[in-house]
Structure 1
Amino acid sequence: MDPTQPGGRGTDPADGTAPAGGVEGGDNPVLAPRLRERRRSAGLTLEAAARRVGLSAAHLSRLESGLRQPSLPVLLGLARLYGTTVSDLLGETTAESDPIVRSGAMPAVPAGGWTYWRAGGTGRAMQALRVHVPAHAQGGLVRVHPGEEWLYVTGGELVLTLGEQTHTLAVGDSAHFDSLVPHQLAAGGPAGVDLLFVHTLIQSEVSALCVTPQPPTRQGGRP
């Protein structure tokens, strides 16, 4: 039967899920308990987790009970929310990743006006990146999210705003801060700024990452 036609076994348009054993994800006995375990490990109630990925608590409960299988977009959303990967949720095992990251093997990834290169392994508690921030990129975007961040300036000049203080960092300068402090990164010159950037994996909804920018009070840092 064609799952795209009425009466088929495709996804439920109301919640982005499919019946257990359906075309979306198949019958995976590992998935349901892992969804429940990862949610609890993230310290989220059923209602809070469902709200953040756009599902009802009843639908998420069915996923955690194995009564339904999530579509790929739902599975991706849950993986991001819990700070893990789709492979982990599905119980897939992979070989240990190579601890060496070669610069030429990592493609440049444009995102939000910045450019990223992966500089560390996958499936870790931290993510390491090389980042280029062009001049005037992302405007007055201010970020707030759980975790810690560490950065090191390798080229250009960085203007880093932490709460009410703004600091100017030159090549060789670094910063390590709690990312629940509202923070903003911007290039201090027309050529942009290059950084080494390490942060703990985010376990929060995307809407919690940005707040309305406020005019900073310039204190500290270099003149």
Structure 2
Amino acid sequence: MDHPAEDVLAGVGPRLRALRRARNATLAALATETGLTASTLSRLENGKLRPTLEQLLPLARAHGVPLDDLVAAPPTGDPRIHLRPVRRAGLVMVPLTRRAGGIQAYKVIYPPADPAPTMRMRTHEGYEWFYVLNGHVRFVLGEQEFRLGVGEAAEFDTRVPHWIGSAVDQPAELLTLFGAQGERAHLAPSRH
């Protein structure tokens, strides 16, 4: 007799290990991030402990993947990304990548400019690159301010205080690459 639930749970450990290794995270670092012990994480990865929802939720958050990705292998043969927009602080962010760790790609739509914007400068670990697909963007980086239009791009260290918003009364659309671990976007020179 087949036991589909057992088959699904048997695959969780290797996926957890692969996600952690893709992020170059140690068991100790992941334990700190999730509130689970390093021993529990090791036993989950080795299949010696059956995962519970209470363990999988913080792991999915830490790895930046949907819970579904932990309990079932991603569909094969279909390379399409099923876009699920996320609305946060007036922005619409559409994730364009699904893999954990490394550089993440997003389409970000900034609402029309507020006549009196409240610019909350942000800082966080990482490196960001963006390309203006549509509209005009007001970009503040440290003490400098820039206005970028369609076809222009910027790359910056996110530890520098920054703010991005639409510069006009129309939405602005950006393609954004973000690396939480400080990865930088690089263009390889063409070889002719």
TM-score, length basis structure 1: 0.58
User: Which piece of structure 1 moves more, 46-55 or 122-131?
Assistant: 122-131
Report what 1:110 is aligned to. Answer: 87
**Which of 66, 69, 75 does residue 94 from structure 1 map onto?**
75
| Structure 1 SS opposite 2:50 | strand
Deviation of the 1:151 alpha carbon: 2.4
**Relative to total residues, which structure has the larger helix share, 1 or 2?**
2
**Which of 163, 168, 172 does residue 184 from structure 1 map onto?**
163
| Structure 2 SS opposite 1:160 | strand
Matched AA of 1:116: M
Whether contact under 8 Å (2:131, 2:151) holds in the other structure is no
Q: Which runs of 5+ in 1 are unaligned?
A: 1-24, 205-223
Report what 2:126 is aligned to. Answer: 146
| Structure 2 SS opposite 1:69 | coil
Whether contact under 8 Å (1:160, 1:168) holds in the other structure is yes
Q: Percent identity?
A: 29
Q: 1:110 to 1:83 in 2, by over 3 A?
A: closer
1:5-27 superposed Cα distances (whole Å, 9 cap, x missing partner): xxxxxxxxxxxxxxxxxxxx756
Q: Which runs of 5+ in 2 are unaligned?
A: 183-192
Q: What CA distance in whole angstroms lies between the structure 2 residues aligned with 1:184 and 1:106?
A: 25
Matched AA of 1:162: L
Q: Does 1:169 align with 2:148?
A: yes
| Structure 2 SS opposite 1:68 | coil
Whether contact under 8 Å (1:159, 1:166) holds in the other structure is yes
Q: Does 1:34 align with 2:15?
A: yes
**Which of 116, 132, 138 does residue 159 from structure 1 map onto?**
138
Determine which structure has more spread, i.e. the larger CA radius of gyration: 1
| Structure 2 SS opposite 1:195 | strand
Whether contact under 8 Å (1:133, 1:193) holds in the other structure is yes
Q: What CA distance in whole angstroms lies between the structure 2 residues aligned with 1:86 and 1:170?
A: 38
Whether contact under 8 Å (1:154, 1:196) holds in the other structure is yes
Whether contact under 8 Å (1:114, 1:134) holds in the other structure is no
Root-mean-square deviation (Å): 3.6
Q: Does 1:53 align with 2:31?
A: no
1:140-176 superposed Cα distances (whole Å, 9 cap, x missing partner): 0414233432221512x32212344322223443323
Q: What CA distance in whole angstroms lies between the structure 2 residues aligned with 1:57 and 1:138?
A: 42
1:45-92 superposed Cα distances (whole Å, 9 cap, x missing partner): 212111112323333233223333334464343234335554543351
Number of aligned pairs?
173
Whether contact under 8 Å (2:113, 2:166) holds in the other structure is yes
Deviation of the 1:185 alpha carbon: 1.1
Q: What CA distance in whole angstroms lies between the structure 2 residues aligned with 1:197 and 1:133?
A: 15
Q: What CA distance in whole angstroms lies between the structure 2 residues aligned with 1:75 and 1:195?
A: 34
Report what 1:197 is aligned to. Answer: 175
TM-score, length basis structure 2: 0.65
Whether contact under 8 Å (1:83, 1:203) holds in the other structure is no
